[in-house]
Structure 1
């Protein structure tokens, strides 16, 4: 099988240490200077460079430089900012289509054990079945878990479910948008406040003109408790008073 993607050459812990070194080293750092900085032999650093380049964390020729993403991730790791590190790992994985595509296999299978998935990573990478490449495959598994693209559930790795967030309610105040309707406190949904059992009419006043384009308009709902009477004149006087004093007030 041809090489599909490069595997790390170290454990996840060593890869993180190398990343922190690149993030704090000057641009175009040599392997010798990095070796002194992180306390790892330069051959250990070198065998991880192809993978780190593939996922967009370092770049360069014989001398490497951390990319902007690599510097952000290395700094987050150095300062133990777990949430930021998770987001940067996720961004790094998604820069490489073949590495990111490993998550699809887990989704299709409905979950895999860590051992089986690690074996699958090694196989599809196209690398030889050596102890060093087994370590690298396991490191890729740890990277996907660190990115929260995979999580462990009931002894298996499964695809992480994206958090569900209710979208915010937006009201266009400039166009006089109204707030969402709410059910009345009595819970019957008909606005009844009449002691006689009949629905009380809701009187809506005209909106108050806004003094600025972003000032909300106001609507006032009035509920009436009507007296129990068969005298129509009582109601006529009541509504006449409403019209005169609320709906069409005199200047």
Structure 2
């Protein structure tokens, strides 16, 4: 295949969500002629999930812009070291440093309301053992995850949420691609899942181009897809050959 000068956008969803959370963003990017892929995120651990995202990027012929929401930001931070990744976009996301865990990054600032709404459960491992995963209490889901999304939508999101392995909070990032790749970040100022100060700190440390979505919830890609897509399009334009 002939390499495409316009980067392909790979949208990486975070915890307690799936790729459908990018639907409005995908539609906008497609309307602007930008190739886009939104793979499933396994949500089983930082190293293994980042390796999967990197494998998706490696299949693409030409440059890639990785966009990560929430926990997906940690994954693009590691997977973004792949040679064909041209830029990184953080959407209400973690942007850890090499050797830093999400728990350590979050611990720099006040604990968000999400922390009190997480519910643990065991899940089976291939070796016959068990591990712990978290979901958000369905009753708390609207307020801590998607306060600016219509109630009829949050009711569906709450029961369709995908759990995150507890180990994802403690596993350190093995690399920090933002040290070598240009980055952009959208801070959701009304976020109750990741403290907005955590988002700002990571984005500033990364030297990212930052925009703020005033009052937006953690589910900003659902509630304000055009704002999210506009930032991604800016990254695509800046990294196009």
TM-score normalised by structure 1 residue count = 0.25
Identify the structure with bigger relative contact order (alpha carbons < 8 Å, sequence gap 6+).
2
- Which has the larger helix fraction? 1
TM-score normalised by structure 2 residue count = 0.26
- Which has the larger strand fraction? 2
